[in-house]
Each structure stands twice: as structure tokens, then as C-alpha cells.
Structure 1
């Protein structure tokens, strides 16, 4: 990947950011997959956006859409399949309709599976295993009731990088989780990660994340998937997706292993975004989370006394867990 990967996938032509349609309630029944041919809904999972050019996977409007909004793109389709309780499984079918079995290694893995609830809680970044029949399997990262968005981030052999997305409903009692307020710091397992930078829509900006542990700068971050940090951004409402890697590469002779990790970013649209930074130290991968309001003159990511905890609010998930 280029040393400066931009958040340039977000489309200017999409509608304004919609609020997440969550309320206190009950979801019943088995895990349900909601997957339209071109699943790019704006609120919840009830609708989809179609384009006359996007006919059954043979061509799509993906050049005008953010990543992860489509279940089918350029002939490739994300197809969840039945799996035993506690397991999540899916296939990628190709232009010929058959399961894809050939994938390029990208950032040390052939498949990156990212999941988040539609209220932007419960984020996980994991790496399933590929079976000979083209089925990807992993212990289910969907650990609480709600409507989840699952993103498959991959490069088919001989093809271009793709990110496909599908909604999955996990039954059970559901309580809305409000998006945390913007804050410049997040804490996880004794680590404090500070975010600095002032992103504005339509402009390239550098976001820098600085990692401290118990007040001491961490200068020995460990490579994780070929980098010192990985940043995923999801836009509130439609969950437009971008997987971003930092400037520089471990071992290139000029990139320090912390405490700072910088990303060249570009947010073409205003709105609220949730950022998730994965970093590894002392053999454990942790995730620091931030809310950023792009285009809000009253909101910056400069130094502040606010802190946003990366600990889960209801006990679901395990902060500081090592990613699969």
C-alpha cells in the first residue's frame, strides 16, 4: 500500500448523514442476514440504493460510492452462509458465480473482516480462515444483539481491492447506544491515545495519534499487519467505510515505532465519523476509538481535557483483546 493512504473513498454525492435508527426494543429470531443486490442503505437496514448501471454485479456505481455500501461490486458478491452457533461464515462469489478461492495477501492477510453495530459500537477487526470450498469461517465476532454491518476487505487474485458489506441481525434485547461526544483522547488498558489534527471536508489533512502508557510515551510499538497502526473510519448513518494505513513502513529506516503514528486523510463530506485505531504493544493488539465531527467549526481534535474511554459500556467485548 502507498505510504500515505487517503480517506478518499467517501462520495460527495451521497445524501447527508442520517442518524442511527436504534431504540430500546427486542430483536427476536435467529441471526438474520439482510443483503440486497446493492445494499447501500442510509438508515438501519431497510432500504437499498440501486443504479441502472449496476446490473447484478456486472458493473456498479462503486466509483461513486464509499467502500462497504455494496454487497456486490465488479462481479464479486459477499454471500453469508449458514454456520453452527458461535461461528460466522461467508463466501465471496466471482463474476462466474462460483466461490473465489484465490486471494492476494494484503497487509499480511488474505481477508480482513471488520464488524460494527449500526450504532457504531462493538467494533472488531478479525481474520477468518479459508476452507478449500471458498468458505471463510471464524468464531463469531458479533457479540451483542443488534443490527451489525460486516465488511469483507480483500483483493481477489488478479483483481482490484474491494470492500463489500452486508447487514446481519443478532436477536435479543436491544438498547440504543448514543455516539460518544468528540474527544481528543481515548484510554484502553492503561494506554492513552491522543488524536490531533483538524480534518475538513474536501481537504487533505494529517491525523496523528500519540500512544502513551501510564504517562510514558510508547516508543516500541510492534508491527501489526505490516504497519505500526491501522485506522478504520465509519460514517454515522450509512457506515461508509475506509481502512487506512499510516505513513511509513516498519523497517524502512525512517519510520519510528511510536509514540506517534500519522495518517494522511481526506474527508470529502461533512458529518460525524467514528475512528478505530488498532495498535500492538507487548504482543497484544488494542483498539482506541474516537468520534470526529468533520466540518463542524466548533469541534476540533486539538488538545483537550476530555477523554473517551475505549472500554465497553455494557460488558460486551474484551478491551485489549488480541485480534484474530
Structure 2
């Protein structure tokens, strides 16, 4: 019996690995070639061949700099951020049994922003704490605040529990956003304030290869942990009691999975700021395509999130000639109508 169960899982993992690689490569190619100045695909391939394999193709130095030093790193970070935020949404929605749960709505992004600003602007930790560590601490504090507030409010079950968690998340987001604004107003000069406010809306403009070395490991860890816990996530679909009856250590699973979601979100926020709707819309859209089983939903959401954020980044660079929009603006402009359509579709299906 165990071999019969293991074989479909193995085939499913192999299927997604075969699908994800070409789709990601195509998305990364498009993200690298398209922008304010369009670079032909053959030039992109030649630059990559020169840098990775020392091919020696004759390529303009400006094109080489744009492709290698700017756009490829930016596309890789966008892919990792999209995948990480989508997975965080999958985890939070499963564990909390709340269709509206995502890092942005539950205050995790706001808390991470507060922690990052406290380290970089206020100088909390005296230089001994990194921006990512500050963001992670803020993310955990925000989620702890939301969880405590929901518990004190009486939680309940079903729709009441979902409503209480959402209201607590809104309160937490507003509180930590207010703290962030206070820290900026108190400690940042005018130039710093402008840069931080643009960053808080989601900004990939300053991304370089050093950021790739931070976000790629965090995303890989997040994907690996989620794939290792797909049965646990399936069990939580029917509630914590049902998960416990199946022999799952509920508290351990919650700590590990929420901790990973907070870690991935914190690393992302520390690099690109807060980006909304990815963790909310992508899991819903993928459930409509692949179903609710997390063995399919986790890899599908990671892949779709990566492609979605690469596309959003390209749009942010080309939609207004000569100007780059914060990527959070693009995800909101796309994500809000899509989420509205999903809600309407769910109502029609019901």
C-alpha cells in the first residue's frame, strides 16, 4: 500500500519538475529581454553563454551589463519572491482554514517592514543585526500579535473564526504600518523617507546579485519544507483536531510551517518591500486549476507565483515610458480584479 501511494507522489513530483524547468526558463528569458530597452533573445543567450561558459561571443558591453548585472538578477529575485509569497499564502490559508489569509492581510508583511526599517533607519542592534533578521523578528512579532488578538477576541469556529482572524490581521497591519511611519518620520531624512516609501510599495530597481544569494536559499528552503509537509497541509484542511487524530503533531507543524512562511516573507520584504495580492490570489487561482490536494497545489502555486511576479515586473518597467512603477502597484492593479473574479466564480459554483 505504501509503495502504491509513493509511486503517484513520485510521478507527481517528476511531472512538476519537468514542467517547471522550461516554464521558468522561458519566463526568466522574457523578464531579461523585455524592459525599457528591448534586447533580442539571441543577444541574451550570447551574454549568458559568455558569462556561464566563456563562449566568447561578440556582444556590446552595454547589452552585457544590462542583461547580466541588472535584468537577470532582477528576474531571478522576482521569481523567488513570487514563489515564496504564493507558498506563504498556501501555508497560512491551510493552517488557519481561512481563504483570506496571506502574509499581507495577516500583518506579517507589515511587521517585516517595521523590523527592516527599525534596523536600517533607527539603527536597532547597532549594526549587529542584519536587515533580514530585523524583518524576520518583526514578522514573528506581527503574527504573534494577530494570533493573540484573535485568541482574546474569542476566535470561535467556522465563519466567526475566519472573520476574527481577518479583523485581527487588519488591526495588526495598521498598527505595524503606523509604527513604520512613525520610525520613518522620527529618524529618516527627506531623501531616506522618499526611498523607503517607494521601497515599501515593492521595488525591484535596486536588486543585484548579492540579493539573489539571500532570496534563492530562503525560497528553496520554503519550497522543500512545504513539499515535505503536503500530507500535513492536507490534514489541516479538516481542522487541527482532524490533523491530530491522524497522528500529526499539530503544534510542531504549526511552528515549523508558520515559521518558514514568516522567514520567507521577511527575506522578501527586506529585499523588495511589501508586495500584496500574490499570496492571496495565486493559491486561489491554482486551486481552481489543480484542485485542493497540496501535493499538486504547492508546486503549482510556487511556479505560478514566480511567473506572475516576473510578468508584473516587466509590466512595471514598460507601462509608463521612462518611469518604473513600484511592483506592488502592478500586483494590486492586476490582483484585485482577478480576486474579484475568483470570488464571483466561487459564488456561482456554490
**Normalised by the size of structure 1, how large is the TM-score?**
0.25
Whichever of the two has the greater Rg, that structure is 2
Question: Which protein is richer in helix relative to its size?
Answer: 2
**Normalised by the size of structure 2, how large is the TM-score?**
0.23
